[in-house]
Structure 1
Amino acid sequence: MSRRRTPKKRVIAPDALYNSVLVHTIVNHLMKKGKKSLAYMMFYETLSEIKQKTEQDPLEVIQKAVNNVRPLVIVKSRRVSGSTRQVPLSVDYEIGVALAIRWILAACRKRVGKSMISKMTNEFLDASKNIGNAIRKKDEIAKMAQANRAYARF
């Protein structure tokens, strides 16, 4: 491990249209090969589709989806007395949100569908209703942490 001091947290500026840091974070995770304008266009289109389908504020739906997928515990491999154990660890809020966004977008990319916009719309709606692949991933991690809770002291 590095002995230098920990780096300062970077302040993420909110996006221009919705004035939300969460939207900017999701766009940064969605972006590939530096094409941020394309990522913004896709995500804003997703938000408009969510608004059409649910008649609710799309930011609230996105926030609810991220909070539903956000894990409270994760498992990490630790070497304990010669064998590798899966040790459950609690997760900070920021790390949990980053994991949730990553899992939701991975589930979007795995979905079978016509466009990424429709896949994102459906996955965010499913996650806000506590169903979908991202929720299943969270439940698998929680189940592994529950099974290995005996090693929590390491």
Structure 2
Amino acid sequence: MKSFVFIDDPQVQEDLNKLINLIMKDGRKAKAVKCVVEAFASMKTHPNYPKQKSASEVFQEGIERVCPFLEVRKVRVKGSTYQVPGALHVDRQRSLGLRWLIQGARRRKPMPFSKALGFEIVDAFRRQGYAIDQRNALHKLAESNRAYAHFRWWA
């Protein structure tokens, strides 16, 4: 796969490619890459940006802090439907985290998308923002339904 933004760490590069592909609409990859590059540039203008860290380190730590560990699935047992908590695979964790970052950036309406994405990544690094709220809500839901964990039949 061709890579547009070059970073040494392969995990960060993989996350960046996934982010670019999630942002892309109608096959316009160059525009999505431009948004990500501008987002990395605008991260440094955030008032709470940690000056001692690089943008790729902030991005990686922000992704790790947004990724959920648990999710709930609906399971039907004897005519009743229960929300059963279960652990997530690493790929699904990262996918959900990146999706929530993009949704959070799109919700910051008056701001341009690339700047909003940069700010959302910094907020995730600081454990704030929409993506962290989504993660906490999902964990809270899984915690409140842990009584049904014995209905889990998958991995």
TM over 0.5, yes or no? yes
- Please show how residues 3-152 of structure 1 align to structure 2 within 5 Å: 14-19=3-8, 20-53=13-46, 54=49, 55=51, 56-152=53-149
* C-alpha contact (below 8 Å) 1:62/1:124 kept by paired residues: yes
SS at match of 1:130: coil
Using the TM superposition, give the Cα deviation of residue 13 of structure 1 relative to its aligned residue in structure 2, in angstroms.
5.7
Rate the CA distance shift 1:16–1:125 in 2: closer, same or farther, 3 A. closer
Between the two proteins, what is the percent identity of the paired residues? Answer: 29
RMSD: 1.5
Q: TM-score, normalised by structure 1?
A: 0.86
Ranked by relative contact order (alpha carbons within 8 Å, sequence separation 6 or more), the top structure is 2
Alignment gaps of 5+ in structure 1: 1-11
Q: TM-score, normalised by structure 2?
A: 0.86
Using the TM superposition, give the Cα deviation of residue 49 of structure 1 relative to its aligned residue in structure 2, in angstroms.
1.9
For 1:42 and 1:14, the matched residues in 2 are separated by 15
Alignment gaps of 5+ in structure 2: none
Which region of structure 1 is more displaced relative to structure 2, 133-142 or 42-51?
Answer: 42-51
Rate the CA distance shift 1:78–1:133 in 2: closer, same or farther, 3 A. same
Deviations 1:27-53 (A, max 9, x none): 011111111000000101111222454
SS at match of 1:33: coil
Which region of structure 1 is more displaced relative to structure 2, 44-53 or 67-76?
Answer: 44-53
